């Protein structure tokens, strides 16, 4: 399976996890994801995910002036976003554990 395909499924979780570390904006989220190894995910997918999470109420945003160029949209995680992240991480942990046990056998 392509890495990109695999990553897409956990992108929502990854984005929530990045923002849960502190208020941040699109470009910074992308850079953090890339450094963490999520380099097969397109920029558009990240921005689309941000849009969807915000619409679902898991993120909130505010516009703030930046030193260079137009205002940045800063995202932070809402309480429902935090719950979503917790539930998603738990599920992911179980799947990951099950997969590891399968591979070890």
Partner 1 sequence: MTPDEYLQDVGYRLIDLPWSMRRDLLAELRSHLDELPAETDLRSRLGAPEQYAADLRAAAGLERRRGVIAFIRARRPRNLILAVATLTVAGLVIGVVVWIQSYQPLAFAGATYLPADTKGSPAGDSEYVVYREGRSFRFGITIQNTGRFTVRVLGVAYPAVFPFSARLLMSTPAPPSKLHVFPGPLAAFHPFDLHPGEISSLILKGVYACHSGEGPGNSWTLDPVPVRYSFLWRTATTSIPLHSRLAITLPDGCDIPGGTP
- Enumerate binding residues for partner 1 (CB under 8 A): 11, 25-27, 30, 42-52, 55, 66, 68-73
50/85 with CB nearer partner 1: 50
Integer CA distances (angstroms), 18 to 38, 47, 54, 64, in order = 12, 13, 14, 19
- Measured between alpha carbons, how far is 72 from 66 in angstroms, rounded to an integer? 6
Furthest-apart CA pair in the chain: how many Å?
54
State the minimum distance, in angstroms, from the CB of residue 86 to partner 1: 22
| CB-nearer residue toward partner 1: 52 or 94 | 52
Nearer to partner 1, 12 or 77 (CB): 12
């Amino acid at each position: 399976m392509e890495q990109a395909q695999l990553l897409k499924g956990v992108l929502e979780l990854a984005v929530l996890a990045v923002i849960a570390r502190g208020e941040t904006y699109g470009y910074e989220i992308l850079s953090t994801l890339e450094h963490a190894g999520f380099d097969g995910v397109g920029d558009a997918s990240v921005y689309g995910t941000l849009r969807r999470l915000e619409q679902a109420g898991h993120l909130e945003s505010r516009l703030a002036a930046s030193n260079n160029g137009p205002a940045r949209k800063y995202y932070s995680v809402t309480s429902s976003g935090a719950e979503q992240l917790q539930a998603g991480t738990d599920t992911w942990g179980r799947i990951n554990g099950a997969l590891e046990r399968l591979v070890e056998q």
